[in-house]
């Protein structure tokens, strides 16, 4: 790690050993946000994904995505494109948390942009595109959710443990749970021991039946803003999870829409 004191992974390794002893499995997935074009950072992400054996669901901004990104994804099947809003522009009122699709926007305007985003990425990516909607800043007006399945989406992904397997009828809720970036502080890595403790708490709750272990456990990253510490921690964490009990999650209409 690029820190003075290497993280102590012993608490996580102890928790993972309990999963192994109880023969439990952890469905695992990886989401990375804000892709628009091939970059050195995207190549680093793709290479790491291949090394770890865990695909990356690449949240692509439809309004800004270029054909070169589609060509790159076509050559790197470990990258699975999903829909990241429309233009990733804040439409929230002054003083409100950032959101592209807040309550105050007319629903027909918001849904038209969402539909436009899906159509544009379907045109760019064709078959590799997973019809999952990832709202920028992980926020969306709840009143919009029932319409997403009718637009062609099969899943919604935000942040924090889900409250229900379905965000709306026909729309699976597949969230992310750990973000290693200290967005409000250094914008580098959150204190590693804090992250490790968070993962341990989340996995313990799942193992003990206090949290939904049918929901895939999601790692959330943002490749364009990673420094060495973030890259190294992410690799070390996913490598440990993939050694067991982590199992690669793949979207299944029959399973995830129940």
Contact 133, 151 (CB under 8 A): no
Give, for all 258 residues of the chain, the pLDDT tens digit. 444 688 999 999 999 999 999 999 999 999 999 999 999 999 999 999 999 999 999 999 999 999 999 999 999 999 999 999 999 999 999 999 999 999 999 999 999 999 999 999 999 998 899 999 999 999 999 999 999 999 999 999 999 999 999 999 999 999 999 999 999 999 999 999 999 999 999 999 999 999 999 999 999 999 999 999 999 999 999 999 999 999 999 998 777 877
This prediction's pTM: 0.95
Q: Which run of H or E residues covers position 26?
A: strand 26-35
Q: Which CATH architecture has domain 10-256?
A: Alpha-Beta Barrel (3.20)
Of the CA atoms within 13 Å of residue 246, those in its CB half-sphere come to 21
> What residue spans define the domains of the chain?
10-256
Name the H helices within 84-227. Answer: 107-125, 145-151, 192-207
CA separation for the pair 215, 202 (Å, rounded): 12
């Amino acid at each position: 790690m690029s820190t003075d004191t290497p993280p102590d992974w012993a608490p996580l390794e102890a928790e993972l050993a309990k999963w192994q002893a109880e023969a439990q499995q952890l469905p695992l997935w990886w989401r990375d946000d804000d892709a628009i074009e091939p970059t050195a950072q995207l190549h680093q992400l793709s290479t790491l994904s291949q090394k770890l054996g865990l695909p990356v669901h690449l949240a692509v901004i439809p309004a800004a995505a270029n054909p070169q990104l589609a060509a790159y994804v076509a050559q790197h099947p470990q990258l699975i494109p999903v829909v990241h809003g429309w233009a990733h522009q804040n439409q929230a009122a002054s003083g409100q948390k950032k959101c592209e699709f807040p309550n105050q926007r007319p629903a027909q305007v918001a849904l038209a942009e969402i539909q436009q985003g899906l159509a544009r990425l379907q045109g760019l990516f064709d078959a590799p595109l997973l019809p999952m909607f990832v709202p920028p800043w992980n926020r969306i007006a709840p009143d919009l959710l029932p319409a997403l399945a009718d637009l062609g989406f099969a899943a919604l992904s935000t942040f924090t443990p889900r409250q229900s397997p379905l965000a709306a009828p026909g729309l699976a809720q597949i969230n992310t749970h750990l973000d290693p970036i200290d967005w409000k502080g250094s914008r580098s890595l959150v204190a590693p021991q804090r992250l490790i403790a968070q993962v341990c708490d989340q996995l313990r709750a799942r193992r003990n039946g206090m949290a939904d272990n049918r929901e895939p456990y999601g790692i959330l990253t943002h490749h364009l803003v990673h420094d060495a510490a973030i890259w190294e921690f992410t690799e070390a964490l996913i490598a440990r999870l993939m050694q067991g009990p982590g199992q690669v999650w793949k979207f299944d209409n029959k399973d995830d829409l129940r």
